[in-house]
Amino acid sequence: MFKLIPNNITKKSSPKLVFFMLSLFLLVSCNNDTNNSSTTNVDTKKEETVVEVVPFEDLDDPEFYKYPRLQFTMQSVRDESDSVWSMKLDGTDLRRAIHPKKMFPAKPGGFMRKPIRSPNRRYLLYVGNRALNIFDFKTSETIKITSSPTSSNFGWSKDSNMIFFYGQHELFRYTLSTKKTVKLEKYFWAKEMFTMNDGKTLGAVQKNGVAFYDYDGNLIKKIELGIKDYWKTRITITPDGRFFFIDDTEPAKIFDLTNPPNQFIELKFKEKILAFYADDPYLQKKLKFRESIFSGPMILGPKAKFLYNRYSGEIVRYSVDSGEMTTIFTGKGVTYPNNYSLMH
């Protein structure tokens, strides 16, 4: 679990302390030169991690692509803008994608809606300055797609070459290699749209259930799930389109969409969550009388083994099998983590 803390050394140091610190610095520098190490090798598993020493993502490192990651936005007290961060799904290997001054060089910026990383992890699709943009982490180039996105429903194709997004009662496809946008002939509405990792299917959460479409907007199939109030629900789907999480009632449910709609897992986490936050009377009071026990958007991990959620600035992981809760991230000296999504 990480605790990001600001560097609060402000008192005037004594000459002896200055000499000691200078000697220590030279010793560490020599050791680093000898081992030819870099900041990407900083141990991010320590309990307290200063924001400035968290390593940046290395897109040229094959190890970076081996495991799914949780991406989120967060602002350090030393920065003027939100930044993009990611970590492994167990909370280890915290990294910053890029410094915010490289992403927003002209003036402080931010993310109006949840940014989505491309499957090859090179690009970021986000809404900022009232426009839908693609940011290239390798070149620091920003590509403006449209100045009038109407929803946060957008996503990437598996090959990271196409994005799908909504306009005013229209659905568009943008191709990165040609930089051309086309309107799909067939429009479908979605409360939430997901791009599946088969490279050819779009998932759409609609009234009463989930529908699947091809890249031209043709309906493939629709599964009725009896969603009661789809405007208020927290919903998410695994990248393979198999498992679907819905939080419209207590307990919440995970459906296996490859089986009949009555095949689901009930998530009876309420008592465990209340016990987990037993030392927080304010949160206890809020949770007891809330219709949903969960807070904010949900992320359903690969194969529906874990759910990820946020409470009071913490990112928490739930085991679907046991209901066990684990805090995998706690921020200090930073704003609350927000806008999280799965990098698969």
For 210-253, write each residue's pLDDT tens digit: 999 999 999 999 998 877 666 666 788 888 888 988 876 667 88
Strand ranges of the sheet holding 142-146, from the earlier edge strand across to the other edge = 116-117, 123-128, 131-136, 142-146
Looking at residue 250, its pLDDT comes to 66
> For 144-188, what is each residue's pLDDT tens digit?
998 766 666 889 999 999 999 988 788 999 999 999 999 998 999
Amino acid at 302: P
Mean pLDDT for 125-134 is 86
Least confident of 12-21, 111-120, 149-158, 280-289: 12-21
User: How many other CB atoms sit within 10 Å of the CB of residue 250?
Assistant: 15
pLDDT band for position 332 (cuts 50, 70, 90): low
Q: What is the pLDDT of residue 180?
A: 94
Task: Dump pLDDT digits (tens) for 255-273.
Answer: 888 876 667 887 776 666 6
Question: Which DSSP symbol is given to 182?
Answer: E
Domains of the chain: 3-343 (2.120.10.30)
Q: Give me the chain's average pLDDT, please.
A: 77
> Among 43-52, 276-285, 295-304, where is mean pLDDT lowest?
43-52
Other C-beta atoms within 10 Å of 79: how many?
Answer: 17
CB burial of 87-101 (b: ≥16 within 10 Å; e: otherwise) equals: bbbebebbbbbbebe
Written as one letter, the residue type at 253 is: K
Amino acid at 300: L
Query: Peptide bond before 239: cis, by omega within 30 degrees of 0?
Result: no
DSSP secondary structure letters along 160-176: SSEEEEEETTEEEEEET
**Lookup: tokens for 260:** 């009949």
The CA distances from residue 49 to 56, 92, 100, 247, in Å, are: 14, 12, 19, 34
Q: What pTM did the predictor assign?
A: 0.77
